[in-house]
Amino acid sequence: MNHAICLVATGMMLIAALPAALAQANYPTQAVRVIVTTAPGGGLDSFSRLVARELTGRAGQQFFVENRPGAGTTIGSTVVARAKPDGYTLLLNTSAFAITPAIYQKIPYDALRDFAPITMGVSNPNLMVVHPSVPVKSIREMIALAKARADQGDPIFYASGGNGTNGHLATALFLSMAQIRMTHVPYRSGSLAVIDLIAGQVAMMTDSMSSVIPYVRAGKLRALGVSSARRAAAARDIPTIAEAGLPGYESGQWYGLFAPAGTPQEIIAWLHRETTTILRATSIKERLAVDGLEVVANSPDEFAALIKADIEKWTKVVKATGIRLM
């Protein structure tokens, strides 16, 4: 009798779990919101719309981008951290995700516990650029000019997409290693900062190659150096910052896909498989390479390990530079 009761109870539990299992197996059955932590028009936004469009075609359900910029990417990240873990709210973020735990004293989520990493889609080197009116054509000249201007009490103003963003920290690391001073002008987004840089309102900026290389090619900005350890495939003529005057310097960005922690593994596996398949397609890789993006498409475990290492790295940089935000 007890055996029969156990069988019935087990059967009822399996039946109760069946709708959820079927829903996961058929994912997605409705539109999926992809939160992007930067404003429209930047490198991450363009990448996100490409991925969303391709996922829509493969899934037969709409993947739509929703821009939530600001506060060093924490606004958009918070939305996803608090979302239902059902696969219908995702996060596409930059490597600033790994900077905010180091630079902000309080953020409304835990970067390691509240998210399920899916894949680091691409690596995206930073590019240091200046307005054409700035009288420098190399990293060495930029360092010399900054020293001279500081001695004259006339500091150089550099822009970033906001306090705590990758561009902010990349420039702060540059200033620290070069032992020079400039004045930081944070914007609400990288695209807004680029607009003012092109207009000559600020002198310099370090931002993702995908965001600024079109303006370099159009002659609206001048490139001084790439932040990665080796030259970018999309711009072989631009030297690295290390080889152009600051040995040992290296800093880059990545774009990665996340879900809220607790999202079923079946959904994580589907998103990983479909996203990496899209990114590894030759036509997509060639399209991304034009903007200086190099496809990585690693595993969730590899991505999680990278995030942990990046948080440790940027914590050391923040401590060395003395940057701290409320």
Domains of the chain, first to last: 28-124+252-321 (3.40.190.150), 125-235 (3.40.190.10)
> Does residue 273 sit in helix, strand or coil?
helix
Q: Which residues pair with 94 in a beta bridge?
A: 255
Burial of residue 315, with CB atoms counted within 10 A of its CB: 0-12 exposed, 13-18 middle, 19 or more buried? middle
Task: Identify whether the C-beta of residue 252 lies closer than 8 Å to the C-beta of residue 126.
Answer: yes
C-alpha separations of 126 from 34, 99, 207, 242 in Å: 24, 15, 5, 13
Task: Identify whether the C-beta of residue 192 lies closer than 8 Å to the C-beta of residue 110.
Answer: no
Single-letter amino acid code for the residue at 318: V
Q: Which pLDDT score, from 0 to 100, does residue 103 have?
A: 85
Provide the whole-model pTM.
Answer: 0.79
Radius of gyration over alpha carbons of the chain, in Å? 22
Q: End-to-end distance of the chain based on CA atoms, in angstroms?
A: 64
Phi, psi of 121 (to 5 degrees): -70, -50
Query: What are the mean pLDDT values of the chain's consecutive 10-residue runs (326 residues total)?
Result: 50 46 72 95 91 97 95 93 98 93 89 97 94 97 95 94 86 93 91 95 93 94 93 89 93 94 98 98 93 92 96 87 70
Structure-block tokens of residue 72: 């060093």
d(CA 20, CA 28): 12
DSSP string for 180-193: ---EEEE-SSHHHH
